[in-house]
Amino acid sequence: MTIHKEGYKSIGIAALVFGLINIASFIFLGTDYPKTAAIIFSASVILFLFIVSFFRIPRRLLTSGETHVVCPADGKVVVIEEVVDEEYFKDRRIQVSIFMSPANVHVNRNPMSGEVLYSKYHKGKYLVAWHPKSSTENERYSVVVKNEKAEILVKQIAGALAKRIVNYLKVGQSVNQGEELGFIKFGSRVDVLLPIGTKINVELNQVVKGGVTVLATL
């Protein structure tokens, strides 16, 4: 397991706060209230390790295949439905949404290889990620990738806790399946919009792994 580059600053700040809190605790409480100081130390260690876990990149064998659309994120499938995409396609698509909890790995990966045709950041709200309108009203980053098999749209969506979306893709760029698409700090949601008729290989409430679980077959 390694730590993602997006976590260096956050972990550094957390380490500094951890150190200051515990130095002050042991100076002012260590002698007269050792149990209280020990509780503060234990609680701050747990919190610090939890923050570190947000930015972990576990080692895993990634899935690849020309006809496969792999999950772009770790989490749980919360939506599988037909929708009308008003942003790019202007027609009906199958939407599959993955909810990322704070405990999930937060790296987002390319569902398939291809060329980036569209990449746009949208300012918006911070509704909870499972809210029906979060897909269209929340802060988000939309990317369209096309290859010989299909053209799909991936949305990184902010939520109540997620306040920063990072996206690495640019229009005209060639991307490979499984490579990093971006990062959402502290969880949220990722939507994938697929062509009508695509075979969906996941079910509602299924737990999936980014870059590993086959979301759909083209």
Residue 106: strand, helix, or coil:
coil
Whether 174 sits among the annotated catalytic residues: the reply is no
Please list, in sequence order, all residues whose beta carbon lies within 8 angstroms of the beta carbon of residue 187, skipping any fewer than 6 positions away: 75, 100, 101, 102, 103, 104, 106, 129, 159, 161, 162
Which residue in the list 97, 113, 142, 188 is annotated as catalytic? 188
CA distance linking residue 194 with residue 154, whole number of Å: 9
Q: CB atoms < 10 A from the CB of 182, how many?
A: 22
**Contact (Cβ atoms closer than 8 angstroms) between residue 190 and residue 108:** yes
CA distance linking residue 189 with residue 136, whole number of Å: 12
CA distance linking residue 113 with residue 94, whole number of Å: 19
| Torsion angle in degrees (nearest 10) through CA of 58, 63, 69, 74 | -20
What tokens were used for 110? 């390319």
Q: Annotated active-site positions, please?
A: 188
